[in-house]
């Protein structure tokens, strides 16, 4: 590729996806391909930010991978999570990361969190209308002007909706969402939010065949991240392991019966 120069009328501006389409860098597949799928991520607001937890399993009729990272930092204050086709989801995350940075370099200004959320809508739409429901993302971030954590969820057609409480994506949604509905309060502390989100993924892993729970044998645990005024941070494995050991212990004490674990 040579130097990508455009006339003023045809210039795609700081929008990387538009530029990539004009220059043929991105192509849209004609139909869905049966490839590994990634599942179940939750995002939850608490007093000072957002907690996100995602399981690590990719499924394609069998367990295709046990250590997929479905949550990534899109930039220092924004996290993006994906469910659906693992391949398209990874591309989606790369595109989002690149797009936000591209915009910043081109204009010497940061996109607002709402700007980032709206930017993803047509990409979801482009992905899903040509090949049904391949990728559904979840965007969470710290809004520096409002000084609060915010969560944006999407429907398959690209609709973007802000959630003031919590949001779930992926096949484990019914189970994870139920746990969140029972345990959520406004003004949760960071610790309470972390435990509740971890439990939600535990329940999804327990009941949904496509969602992976904590894997004590391999030492692979759901990914846990927080986004607050200090930015995106991933919890260390030991911390996550301790939380899942606590849940597992309670569940063992209750002889495997789920009721009563939500305290």
Partner 1 sequence: MSNYFYVSPEQLIKDRAEFAQKGIARGRAIVATIYDVGIVLVAENQSASLNKISEIYDRIAFAGVGKYNEFDRLREAGIRWADSTGFTYSREDVDVRALANYYAQHLGDMFTEGPKPLEVEILVAQLGGSVRPTKLYRVAYEGTIADEPHFAVVGGDADAIRAHLAESEQEVHDLATTLRNAVAALAGPDREISVPDLEVAVLEDRGGRRTFLRLTDEQVAELLGP
Q: Which residues bind partner 1 (CB under 8 A)?
A: 1-5, 11, 16, 19-20, 23, 25, 94, 98, 101-102, 105-106, 108
The nearer residue to partner 1, 5 or 217, going by C-beta atoms, is 5
| Least Å from the CB of residue 82 to partner 1 | 17
Minimal distance in Å, beta carbon 232 to partner 1? Answer: 12
User: Does 59 participate in catalysis according to the annotation?
Assistant: no
Closest CA to 38 of 170, 167, 160, 138: 170
Phi, psi torsion values for 175, nearest 5 degrees? -80, -45
Q: In angstroms, give the least distance from the CB of 251 to partner 1.
A: 40
Report the residue number, 1 or 217, with the smaller CB distance to partner 1. 1
**Other CB atoms within 10 A of residue 221 CB:** 27
Q: Which helix (H) or strand (E) holds 193?
A: helix 190-207
Closest distance to partner 1 from the beta carbon of 106 (Å): 6
- Of the residues 27, 28, 39, 107, which is catalytic? 39
Q: How far is CA 261 from CA 37, 203, 253, in A?
A: 29, 10, 10
Taking the C-alpha atoms of residue 103 and residue 123, their distance in angstroms, rounded to an integer, is 16
Q: Which is nearer to partner 1, 96 or 220 (CB)?
A: 96
Residue 108 CB, nearest distance to partner 1 (Å)?
6
Euclidean distance between CA atoms 81 and 83, whole angstroms: 7
Sequential DSSP letters for 56-81: --EESSSEEES----EEEEETTEEEE
Nearer to partner 1, 109 or 217 (CB): 109
- All residues at 6 or more sequence positions from 205 whose CB lies less than 8 Å from its CB, including other chains: 40, 55, 172, 211, 212, 213, 214, 222
Cβ proximity to partner 1: between 50 and 95 the closer is 95
Catalytic residues, by residue number, are: 39
């Amino acid at each position: 590729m040579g130097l990508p120069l455009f006339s003023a009328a045809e210039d795609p501006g700081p929008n990387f996806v538009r530029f990539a389409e004009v220059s043929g860098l991105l192509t849209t597949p004609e139909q869905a391909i049966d490839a590994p799928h990634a599942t179940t991520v939750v995002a939850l607001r608490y007093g000072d930010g957002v907690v996100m937890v995602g399981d690590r399993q990719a499924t394609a009729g069998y367990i295709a991978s046990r250590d997929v990272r479905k949550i990534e930092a899109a930039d220092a204050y924004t996290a993006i999570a994906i469910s659906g086709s693992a391949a398209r989801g990874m591309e989606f995350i790369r595109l989002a990361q690149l797009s936000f940075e591209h915009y910043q370099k081109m204009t010497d200004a940061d996109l607002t969190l709402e700007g980032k959320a709206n930017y993803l809508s047509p990409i979801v739409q482009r992905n899903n209308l040509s090949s049904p429901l391949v990728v559904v993302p979840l965007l969470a971030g710290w809004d520096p002007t409002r000084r609060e954590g915010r969560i944006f969820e999407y429907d398959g057609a690209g609709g973007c909706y802000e959630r003031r409480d919590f949001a779930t994506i992926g096949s484990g949604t019914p189970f994870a969402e139920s746990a969140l509905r029972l345990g959520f309060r406004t003004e949760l502390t960071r610790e309470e939010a972390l435990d509740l989100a971890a439990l939600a993924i535990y329940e999804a892993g327990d009941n949904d065949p496509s969602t992976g729970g904590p894997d004590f044998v391999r030492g692979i645990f759901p990914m846990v991240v927080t986004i607050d005024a200090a930015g995106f941070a991933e919890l260390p494995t030991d911390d996550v392991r301790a939380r899942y050991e606590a849940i597992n212990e309670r569940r063992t004490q209750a002889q495997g019966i789920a009721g009563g674990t939500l305290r």
